[in-house]
Chains A and B, each alone.
Chain A
Amino acid sequence: MLEIKNINVHFGVIHALKGISFTVNEGEIVTLIGANGAGKTTTLRTISGLKKLTSGNILFEGKDITHASAQERVKLGISQSPEGRRVFSSMTVLENLELGAFLRKDKKKISDDLKMVYEHFPILADRRKQAAGTLSGGEQQMLAIGRALMSRPRLLLLDEPSMGLAPLLVQEIFNIIKNINKTGTTILLVEQNASMALQVADRAYVMETGSIVLSGTGEELMQSEDIKKAYLGG
């Protein structure tokens, strides 16, 4: 479904992505793990079209979207819940969710999807009139994911959905991610929390300073000694 082919990305002289390639197949949960500054967020931003690449190609469902605008990518079905949530703080929860459906015109289906988001995240329904900035961190994370779902994505990019959340909530978020995947949405998940990510993921890629250094199924990587040492705390 998504093919990343040898992409290079620079920030001025910083070579942030050094020719990385990977694929995400329809229906999968694929995770991208790695230390701080490895280039995970940059990868997702490049896929969403927020960051221009220097060379390489991005294919989505066989179509070359390397030079497509961010809007076109949303239209094609790529949606992202960005690092740090980035909800529109002074807007209400409902307004945030509606913005997620910005490019859609089918009112009926939008309201169906709103119900679907409220089913995944019942707390958002209670808080729908509240300003997003007044939500707790966990609720904001749910809102960011819900907002990304409102464009009806075929591929959902999640950047550190567990960041700053209490363990119980982390578990809950990961369960929801699994549920979203079961309803047919392919997921590319960036995580610091490697053990949780590897548990839910079908496949995983490990990034280190701008390169992919390891890949395999979630289980394989969980057994790997290197991974255990570097990311799973022994």
Chain B
Amino acid sequence: MEQFFQQTINGISLGSIYALIALGYTMVYGIIKLINFAHSDVYMLGAYFGYVCMTSFKLGFLPSLLISMVLCTLIGVMIEKIAYKPLRNATRIAVLITAIGVSLFLEYVTMAIAGANVRSYPPQTGILDQSFNIGSINITMQQIIIVSITIILMVLLQFIVKKTRIGKAMRAVSLDSDAAELMGINVNTTISFTFAIGSALAGAAGIMVGIYYNSINPLMGMLPGLKAFVAAVFGGIGIIPGAMIGGYFIGIVEVLVSGYSNSMYRDGVVFAILILVLIIKPAGLLGKNTREKV
């Protein structure tokens, strides 16, 4: 039982990361129906930006987190402007292939600049190095910080989407972009903003993974990216709370599987879940089973 709780706590930490990445996938899909393959590389860049802040500039965790989020925001908006915007009226497959191209581009540019080797985040000191026990369950301060920051970001996101003008514009564009335009909503600005928010969240996830697992590399986005995508599909792609639930679900399942059986199965199980979701409820947990509109 204690092992179960311990694993669940680890799973919640990992799930926070997946949830943050999944939000970016789901919001972008919601608004332009694109699976933004480059999103997982923005997460990777977030880890690198955090690394540079903490090693070269010796900044603390929080300033590094903020800088990493800001830089990822800029990168995300740039990707949209340069790669996707010119393709607004192109076929979806063309945009999808472009997204894969952007993803490879970011991975190999990072490799060219930073090298292909794994790099280690500096050892955390002070509060980030602490941990405490409840019974025999060990909780690290890093886990608490990851989960708290994730929750803060999610609350903030909900506030933006539900209450602010731009958030309402985001929802309107994702529901019906023509109708949104008739309201006087600038669809391009709204799409940029969506990329900005998704990328900021991915940046936060990147640096938090850096301090949590210590090692980063230019291809680190691939697997978590895929899993976060599964999480988004699990919760219902395009649905914000779905991505949150999906992220935590996938994170917990993955950790429990590797804890209780062979850790080699953990990735397989995640993709088995994807297949099951696609068979049983293709629209995802919170999705309505409607046929795709043309």
Contact = CB atoms under 8 A, between A and B. Distances in A.
B183 A100 contact: yes
Interface residues of A, number: 26
A74 B175 contact: no
B168 A151 contact: no
A34 interface: no
Contacts of B31: none
Interface residues of B, number: 16
Contacts of A90: 171, 175
A195 interface: no
A99 to B, nearest CB: 5
Contacts of A102: 165, 168-169, 183-185
Interface string B163-191: 00100110110011011111111100000
Interface of A: 48-50, 69-71, 74-75, 79-80, 82, 86-91, 95, 98-100, 102-103, 147-148, 151
A70 B182 contact: yes
Contact of A91 (B171, B178, B185): B171
B169 to A, nearest CB: 7
Interface of B: 165, 168-169, 171-172, 175-176, 178-186
B186 A95 contact: no
B178 A99 contact: no
B99 to A, nearest CB: 25
Contacts of B168: 95, 98-99, 102
A50 B182 contact: yes
Given A89-B175, A91-B172, A102-B169, A151 B183 contact: yes
Contact of B179 (A74, A75, A88): A88
Given A91-B172, A95-B168, A50 B181 contact: yes
Contact of B171 (A50, A88, A151): A88
B178 A50 contact: yes
A48 B184 CA distance: 10
Contacts of B171: 88, 90-91
Contacts of B179: 82, 86-88
A91 B184 contact: no
Which one of A71, A75, A90 has the highest number of Cβ atoms from chain B below 10 Å of its Cβ?
A71
Contact of A82 (B165, B175, B178): B178
A103 B178 contact: no
